[in-house]
Chains A and B, each alone.
Chain A
Amino acid sequence: MGIFLIILLFAGSGGLLGYLAQRLKRHSNPLVEQIDNLLPQTQCAQCGYPGCRPYAQAIANGQADINQCPPGGQQTIDALAELLGAESTSLNTSFGETKSGQVAFIHESQCIGCTLCIKACPVDAILGASQLMHTVITQECTGCELCIEPCPVDCISLLASPDASHST
Chain B
Amino acid sequence: MKQSQPAYRKVQGGIVFTAKQQPQPIRKIHTPKQLIYPLTDQRGQQRSLIVEDGSHVAAGQPIAESTNRLSVPVHAACSGIISYAQPQNPDSVLITTDREQHVTTPIPLDTPLQHSPQDLIKRIEQAGVSGMGGAGYPAHLKLLAALELSPHTLILNAVECDPATTCDSTLLAEYSEDILTVAKLIMHICNCSHCMIAIEDQQTALLNHLNKVLSETATQHIRVVTVASRYPSGSEQQLVESLTDQTLRANQTALHAGAICFNIATALAIHRAIYLGLPLLQRLVTVSGPAIKQPVNIFAPIGTPLSELLSACGLLTEHVTVLQGGLMMGQAVPYETSVVLKETYSLWIAPEQHTSNEAQPCIRCGDCAVVCPVNLQPQSLYQLAQAHLWNRPELDIDLATCLECRACDLVCPSHIPLTDHFIHAKLKVQELKQSRAKALHARQRYEARQERLAKAAHKRQSKDRKRKQISDVNAMLERIKNKVDNNNPESS
Interface pairs A-B: 9 shortest CB-CB:
A41-B439, A123-B445, A41-B442, A41-B443, A142-B442, A43-B446, A123-B442, A122-B446, A124-B449
Let me know if A124 and B442 touch, CB within 8 A. no
Let me know if B445 and A40 touch, CB within 8 A. no
Chain B proximity of A166: nearest CB distance (Å)? 9
Chain B residues lying within 8 Å of A140, measured Cβ to Cβ, are 441-442, 445
Contact of B388 among A78, A122, A168 (CB under 8 A): A78
In the complex, A163 Cα to B431 Cα: how many Å? 10
- Taking Cβ atoms with an 8 Å cutoff, the residues of A that contact B are 36-37, 39-43, 51-52, 75, 78-79, 82, 122-125, 140, 142, 163, 167-168
Interface of B, helix, strand, loop or mixed by DSSP = helix
Let me know if B445 and A124 touch, CB within 8 A. yes
Let me know if A39 and B439 touch, CB within 8 A. yes
Chain A proximity of B435: nearest CB distance (Å)? 7
Chain A residues lying within 8 Å of B390, measured Cβ to Cβ, are 75
Say whether, besides A40-B439, A124-B445, A168 and B389 are in contact (CB < 8 Å).
no
Residue of B nearest to A168 (CB): B427
Let me know if A123 and B440 touch, CB within 8 A. no
Let me know if A41 and B391 touch, CB within 8 A. no
List 25 A-B pairs, Cβ < 8 Å. A36-B443, A37-B436, A40-B435, A40-B439, A41-B439, A41-B443, A41-B446, A43-B446, A51-B446, A75-B390, A75-B432, A79-B391, A122-B449, A123-B442, A123-B445, A123-B449, A124-B445, A124-B448, A124-B449, A125-B445, A142-B438, A142-B442, A163-B434, A167-B427, A167-B434
Contact of B443 among A52, A78, A125, A168 (CB under 8 A): A52
In the complex, A168 Cα to B438 Cα: how many Å? 17
Chain A residues lying within 8 Å of B445, measured Cβ to Cβ, are 123-125, 140
Chain A residues lying within 8 Å of B388, measured Cβ to Cβ, are 78
In the complex, A42 Cα to B389 Cα: how many Å? 22
- Taking Cβ atoms with an 8 Å cutoff, the residues of B that contact A are 388-391, 427, 431-432, 434-436, 438-443, 445-446, 448-449
Chain A proximity of B211: nearest CB distance (Å)? 51
Interface centre among A41, A51, A75, A82 (most CB of B within 10 A): A41
Chain B proximity of A153: nearest CB distance (Å)? 24
In the complex, A43 Cα to B434 Cα: how many Å? 18
Residue of A nearest to B439 (CB): A41
In the complex, A123 Cα to B439 Cα: how many Å? 11
Chain B proximity of A142: nearest CB distance (Å)? 5
Let me know if B389 and A82 touch, CB within 8 A. yes
In the complex, A43 Cα to B438 Cα: how many Å? 13
In the complex, A75 Cα to B445 Cα: how many Å? 23
Say whether, besides A40-B439, A41-B440, A167-B431, A123 and B391 are in contact (CB < 8 Å).
no
In the complex, A83 Cα to B388 Cα: how many Å? 14
Chain B proximity of A23: nearest CB distance (Å)? 24
Chain B residues lying within 8 Å of A168, measured Cβ to Cβ, are 427
Chain B residues lying within 8 Å of A40, measured Cβ to Cβ, are 435, 439, 442
Say whether, besides A167-B431, A168-B427, A42 and B391 are in contact (CB < 8 Å).
no
Chain B proximity of A78: nearest CB distance (Å)? 7
Chain B residues lying within 8 Å of A163, measured Cβ to Cβ, are 434, 438
Let me know if B446 and A123 touch, CB within 8 A. yes
Chain A proximity of B37: nearest CB distance (Å)? 22
In the complex, A36 Cα to B444 Cα: how many Å? 12
In the complex, A79 Cα to B428 Cα: how many Å? 14
Chain A proximity of B202: nearest CB distance (Å)? 41
Residue of A nearest to B430 (CB): A167
In the complex, A37 Cα to B444 Cα: how many Å? 12
Interface centre among A52, A142, A168 (most CB of B within 10 A): A142
In the complex, A140 Cα to B388 Cα: how many Å? 28
Chain B residues lying within 8 Å of A41, measured Cβ to Cβ, are 439-440, 442-443, 446
Chain B residues lying within 8 Å of A75, measured Cβ to Cβ, are 390, 432
Chain B proximity of A168: nearest CB distance (Å)? 7
